[in-house]
């Protein structure tokens, strides 16, 4: 297949592309605007493949995006392009509305026109895979409930509201126009090449520098953690074998409170990097509790039994194995993250990351 991946220079998108190029015979067209979180250096290992092509295009640019379809004639679309940082959506929601809602609308309309022009056999095989988040479901009450594919939407932030809107658009285009869509909603991803404003890489890199490890509120917000390479495998499974009109929740079966995650990172750093910055006896002493985020959801947890039963996917990594691999990757790949921190990957400085998502 020729798979068009939007947002392929992002954290999850780049993992998807690496998975496809390294593990299949399919080809990829990477369509990315290259915002602050888009980093082509995350694709260095596959960029010279004859099966990989890059298009520097914003999905909000209708004509440029339509031209990509005309030139590359994809057999499937995997839509991952999105503004995705909750704190940034609180500070400035407009970009989230434009990219996540209007950009998705553009992509759906261009895809619909392209799909309608295909011969019947190609039309039948074509798929539009929309990649979303568990944050559209809002907050879970208690400790036992899980998000299922039929859980009602109740987004809490501008980010999750914009993603919920895009989910509804995709389903409407399937119901109204017959566009062959599938939707996935995933839990919190972590792993190699994660942008350093996110919780896990921020904690690792701050600890190495002897800087504070800021944790929102009491740190008891619970998330279901999914290793990004497991997620990439799940997404490829869905786009190739998922049933049209279906939704699949993708989770790691790893519920952890944020403070527990930070403590585990500190313990791994004690093992891997016992020589600490001057004046630091234990990495854990760097933990600092800060004012909670507005509208912060307390607990997310995914029921991923449907994708396991119907498509045969389940995560290969436990949180313990995945977080160990993640910490080791950051310790071994200073060149990648240092170029993000100093802005060299974009030719500009990004400034302090102390206000990242926690």
Q: Annotated catalytic sites, by residue?
A: 134-135, 159
Distance CA 297, CA 145 (A): 14
Residue 235 and residue 242: Cα distance in Å, rounded? 9
CA distance 254 to 22: 27
Helices 319-332 and 258-272, axial angle in degrees (round to 10): 50
- Residue pair 182/307 in contact by the 8 Å Cβ criterion: no
DSSP 17-80: HHHHHHHSS-EEEEEE---TT--GGGGTTTTT-TTEEEEE--TT-HHHHHHHHHHH--SEEEE-
Residue whose structure tokens are 């799909």: 115
According to DSSP, residue 302 is labeled B
């Amino acid at each position: 297949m020729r798979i068009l991946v939007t947002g392929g220079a992002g954290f999850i998108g780049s993992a998807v592309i690496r998975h496809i190029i390294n593990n299949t015979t399919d080809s990829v067209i990477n369509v990315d605007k290259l915002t602050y979180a888009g980093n082509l250096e995350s694709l260095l290992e596959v960029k010279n493949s004859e099966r990989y092509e890059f298009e520097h295009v914003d999905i909000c640019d209708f004509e440029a995006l339509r031209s990509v379809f005309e030139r590359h004639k994809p057999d499937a679309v995997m839509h991952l392009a999105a503004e995705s940082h909750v704190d940034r959506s609180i500070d400035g929601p407009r970009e989230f509305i434009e990219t996540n809602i209007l950009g998705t609308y553009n992509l759906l309309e261009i895809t619909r026109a392209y799909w309608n022009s295909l011969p019947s056999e190609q039309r039948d095989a074509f798929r539009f895979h929309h990649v979303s988040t568990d944050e559209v479901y809002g907050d879970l009450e208690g400790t036992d409930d899980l998000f299922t594919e039929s859980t009602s939407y109740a987004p809490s932030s501008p980010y999750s509201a914009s993603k919920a809107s895009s989910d509804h658009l995709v389903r409407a285009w399937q119901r109204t126009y017959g566009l062959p869509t599938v939707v996935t909603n995933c839990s919190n991803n972590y792993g190699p090449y994660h942008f350093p404003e996110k919780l896990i890489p921020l904690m690792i890199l701050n600890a190495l520098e002897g800087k504070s490890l800021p944790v929102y509120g009491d740190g008891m917000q619970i998330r279901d953690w999914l290793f990004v390479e497991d997620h990439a495998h799940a997404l490829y499974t869905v786009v190739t074998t998922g049933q049209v009109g279906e939704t699949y929740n993708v989770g790691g079966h790893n519920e952890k409170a944020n403070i527990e995650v930070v403590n585990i990172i500190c313990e791994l750093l004690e093992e891997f990097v016992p020589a600490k910055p001057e004046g630091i006896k234990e990495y854990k002493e760097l933990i600092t509790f800060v004012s909670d985020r507005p509208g912060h959801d307390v607990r997310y947890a995914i029921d991923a039994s449907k994708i396991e039963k119907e498509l045969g996917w389940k995560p290969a990594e436990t949180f313990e194995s995945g977080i160990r691999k993640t910490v080791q990757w950051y310790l071994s790949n200073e060149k990648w993250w240092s170029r993000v921190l100093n802005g060299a990957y974009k030719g500009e400085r990004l400034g302090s990351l102390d206000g990242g998502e926690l």
